[in-house]
Amino acid sequence: MADVSTIALEAKSPYELRVHLGDAVPEQSVREALASGDMGFLHSYTTGSTVDGPGVRLVAWTTGCQWRCQYCHNPDTWTMSNGIPISVAKATETLSKYRHGLKAMAGGLTLSGGDPLMQHRFAVKLLAAAKSLGIHTTIETNGAYHEKLSDAELDVIDLVMLGIKTFDARRHRALTGQDNGPTLEFARRLAARRKPIWIRFVLVPGLTDDLEDLARTAEFAAGLGNVERVEVLPFHQLGRFKWERLGLDYALRDAAPPLQELTEQALTILRQAGLKAF
């Protein structure tokens, strides 16, 4: 196993493959940490991101996700013990070093993953610490575990970047292995609390390019009233090597990125529904 003490938590890119970094933590300690939120597991963090929320962001990539999206570009984040164990105190100390810069660049902290709500106690504690430092907070999530958060805990999150993979329930299950009901429920819950949402939608030719399905997503999103923008993310193959190195069966090995024309069609559908789409 790798010597965790020699591995930098800061990564040049989230595309670094990281495995087994938390294996040495006894299972009982993992359970206690998850229950208290005093310790979490991070794949890595990156600084200077301009694509993970408003302004310039510090992004902490958590490990743990129970979904199995066919196009996932970070499958090494699925397993919690692949991440480096870190106390919430240590993570807060690192965060506080960046606070002036983040504020000056109208940015903040983004928790992404994996899915940050797999470690919801840790996520809440870290986000609350960020808030107390005056730092804007964002989580990027599939929303499946939103019920773990109370309404008061939701208040430590300024913005939710919600992944809507596809609208049709059957297609969603085939794409991710999970139901999209909780994701849509979370969107409605956030709407009721007037919490801003940015929707993320990954466009994969032959997989998520059913334009009628996208029109239903657009109608749903536009009806919520709290969706500030929708980001259409063209599929790419940057995560392919991770699937191969992890010995996973990658169904999209020959899939191509969408043509510009398809991306434009998707954006038009979203904009016609009254959404700001990019």
In the complex, which residues of this chain contact ligand SF4 (CB under 6 A)? Answer: 65, 67-69, 72, 74, 77, 113-115, 142, 163
Tell me how far, at minimum, the Cβ of 152 lies from ligand SF4, in Å.
Answer: 25
Residue 34 or 69 having the CB closest to ligand SF4: 69
Residue 125 or 172 having the CB closest to ligand SF4: 172
Q: Tokens for 74? A: 């970070």
> In the chain, what is the straight-line distance between the N-terminal and C-terminal CA atoms, in Å?
42
Tell me how far, at minimum, the Cβ of 58 lies from ligand SF4, in Å.
Answer: 19
Tell me how far, at minimum, the Cβ of 115 lies from ligand SF4, in Å.
Answer: 6
Residue 82 or 129 having the CB closest to ligand SF4: 82
The Cα-based distances of 43 to 15, 75, 80 in angstroms read 10, 11, 9
Residue 44 or 98 having the CB closest to ligand SF4: 44
Residue 46 or 142 having the CB closest to ligand SF4: 142
Task: Count CB-CB contacts under 10 A for residue 276.
Answer: 12
| Cβ atoms of residues 58 and 65 within 8 Å | no
Tell me how far, at minimum, the Cβ of 64 lies from ligand SF4, in Å.
Answer: 9
Closest CA to 233 of 177, 277, 196: 277
Tell me how far, at minimum, the Cβ of 114 lies from ligand SF4, in Å.
Answer: 5
Q: How would you list the strands of the sheet with 57-62, edge to edge?
A: 84-87, 39-49, 57-62, 108-112, 136-141, 159-163, 197-203, 227-234
Task: Count CB-CB contacts under 10 A for residue 101.
Answer: 13
Residue 108 or 163 having the CB closest to ligand SF4: 163
Closest CA to 44 of 90, 8, 79: 8
Phi, psi of 53 (to 5 degrees): 125, 180
Tell me how far, at minimum, the Cβ of 3 lies from ligand SF4, in Å.
Answer: 26
Residue 42 or 69 having the CB closest to ligand SF4: 69
Tell me how far, at minimum, the Cβ of 7 lies from ligand SF4, in Å.
Answer: 21
Burial 129-156, CB ≥16 within 10 A → b, else e? bbbebebbbbbbbbbbbbeebeeebbeb
Q: Tokens for 147? A: 């019920």
